[in-house]
């Protein structure tokens, strides 16, 4: 495992995180900032703008997020672009483009038959003619006023934005990039990882102290990246199932196996952090109420891994029953309380669609 890193200048200003009984002194936190708790703008500020658009990322940064989070897929001509999945009919207007009607197809995506339009069948120039739209309009009707206004950004544009906003806001806006469906793309001869390394190299970001993370739900691509990147790697885990590269390799281990104490020690050989589904930190009962926290945070810290769970969202639909404001899924509930409950477990940061709330919660605690 590569040791976690922090910008020396920042460490000089705020000091390294203190060691605790549960946490080796050599680990520290990956990036010391403010209250030392990372707010990651999940797909930007996707609670307020169509996800994975420059507008969404910019709003997240202006709301105080420490990092913006592009999910990465590739175009036909090998350009990394920000989309949550290769199939783009849910988040762009591709279906309304008659010139692309014959690109509609069915593919096997990680063992599931998916019908639609896929980024790897479009050149960047073609993808540029599309416009982004809100993924969940029934829940986020207010975001639909931005439908049709933004393009699909490239990874390079996201980095350029982060650099520009870092200068303007006078604080580093980091990039927390995720490789999406790495085996799927590798099988098509369009591996994402060399492009990620090349892009970070080209931008001077493949270095200790750069405000960059790289995350994945698969394992072998992180292991491939480990000796090639000098930025922290984060193993994502789901509440169920197994990494798809494990499925392909006949490895019987599941995500549940990876989050045992032994599994976390194994993960720490190649990764610096863990991005669990939040229910793996605090599970819910059958009625949706929070139960006692698991030992995951303690076990991860003992293994030297930071913990950044996903995804914190303000709508009742996504909140535990404890913090819902009504039975209406789109109504806002008490995200402050949910974040407070999770912070009490010792997590090191979180992914949120509502970075303004997470930043306000962090500031509230500082003020108190
Ligand atoms: O990367 C953390 C979190 O974003 C993982 O979930 O599906 O939103 O990419 P997803
Ligand atoms: Ca993601």
CATH classification at residue 258: 3.20.20.190
Domain span at 333: 5-367
Task: Please work out whether the CB of residue 217 comes within 6 Å of at least one atom of ligand 1.
Answer: no
The residue whose C-alpha atom lies closest to atom 7 belonging to ligand 1 is 84
**Taking the chain, what is the end-to-end CA distance rounded to the nearest angstrom?**
37
* Element holding 239 (H helix, E strand): none
The pairing of strands 233-237 and 105-109 is unpaired
Reported as a single tens digit per residue, the pLDDT across 104-142 is: 999 999 999 999 999 999 999 999 999 999 999 999 999
Q: How far is the CA of 351 from the centre of ligand 1 (A)?
A: 8
pLDDT of residue 23: 36
Number of structural domains, the chain? 1
pTM of the model: 0.91
Give the tokens for residue 357.
Answer: 């709330």
Quickly state the pLDDT bin for 366 (edges 50, 70, 90): low
Using most ligand atoms within 8 A of CB, pick from 56, 65, 84 the residue to mutate for ligand 1.
84
pLDDT of residue 26: 28
The greatest distance separating any two alpha carbons of the chain, rounded to the nearest whole angstrom, comes to: 62
Task: Please work out whether the CB of residue 83 comes within 6 Å of at least one atom of ligand 1.
Answer: no
pLDDT of residue 368: 54
Q: How far is the CA of 355 from the centre of ligand 1 (A)?
A: 15
Task: Please work out whether the CB of residue 42 comes within 6 Å of at least one atom of ligand 1.
Answer: yes
Q: What are phi and psi of 122, to 5 degrees?
A: -120, 135
Nearest to 147 by CA among 234, 36, 240, 49: 49
* CA 205 – CA 102 distance, rounded (Å): 39
Reported as a single tens digit per residue, the pLDDT across 139-191 is: 999 999 999 999 999 999 999 999 999 999 999 999 999 999 999 999 999 99
């Amino acid at each position: 495992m590569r040791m976690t890193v922090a910008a020396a200048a920042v460490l000089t200003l705020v000091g390294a995180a203190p060691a605790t009984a549960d946490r080796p002194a050599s680990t520290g936190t990956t990036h010391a900032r403010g209250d030392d708790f990372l707010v990651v703008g999940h797909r930007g500020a996707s609670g307020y703008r169509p996800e994975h658009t420059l507008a969404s990322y910019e709003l997240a940064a202006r709301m105080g997020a420490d990092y913006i989070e592009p999910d990465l897929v590739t175009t036909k001509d090998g350009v990394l672009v920000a989309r949550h999945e290769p199939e783009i009919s849910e988040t762009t207007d591709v279906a309304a483009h008659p010139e692309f009607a014959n690109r509609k197809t069915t593919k096997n995506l990680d063992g599931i038959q998916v019908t639609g339009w896929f980024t790897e069948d479009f050149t960047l120039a073609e993808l540029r003619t599309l416009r982004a739209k809100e993924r969940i309009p029934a829940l986020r009707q207010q975001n639909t006023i931005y439908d049709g206004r933004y393009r699909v950004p490239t990874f390079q544009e996201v980095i350029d934005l982060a650099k520009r906003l870092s200068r303007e806001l006078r604080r580093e806006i980091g990039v927390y990039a995720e490789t999406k469906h790495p085996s799927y793309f590798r099988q098509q001869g369009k591996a994402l990882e060399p492009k990620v390394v090349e892009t970070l190299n080209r931008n001077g970001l493949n270095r200790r102290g750069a405000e960059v993370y790289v995350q994945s739900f698969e394992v072998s691509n992180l292991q491939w990246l480990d000796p090639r990147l000098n930025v922290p790697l984060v193993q994502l885990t789901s509440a169920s199932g197994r990494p798809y590269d494990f499925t392909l390799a006949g490895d019987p281990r599941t995500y549940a196996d990876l989050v045992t104490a032994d599994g976390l020690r194994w993960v720490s050989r190649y990764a610096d952090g863990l991005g669990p589904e939040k229910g793996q930190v605090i599970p819910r009962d059958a009625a949706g109420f929070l139960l006692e926290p698991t030992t995951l945070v303690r076990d991860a810290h003992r293994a030297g891994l930071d913990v950044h769970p996903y995804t914190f969202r303000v709508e009742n639909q996504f909140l535990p029953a404890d913090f819902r404001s009504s039975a209406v899924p789109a109504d806002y509930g008490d995200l402050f309380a949910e974040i407070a409950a999770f912070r009490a477990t010792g997590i090191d940061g979180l992914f949120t669609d509502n970075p303004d709330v997470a930043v306000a919660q962090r500031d509230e605690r500082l003020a108190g």
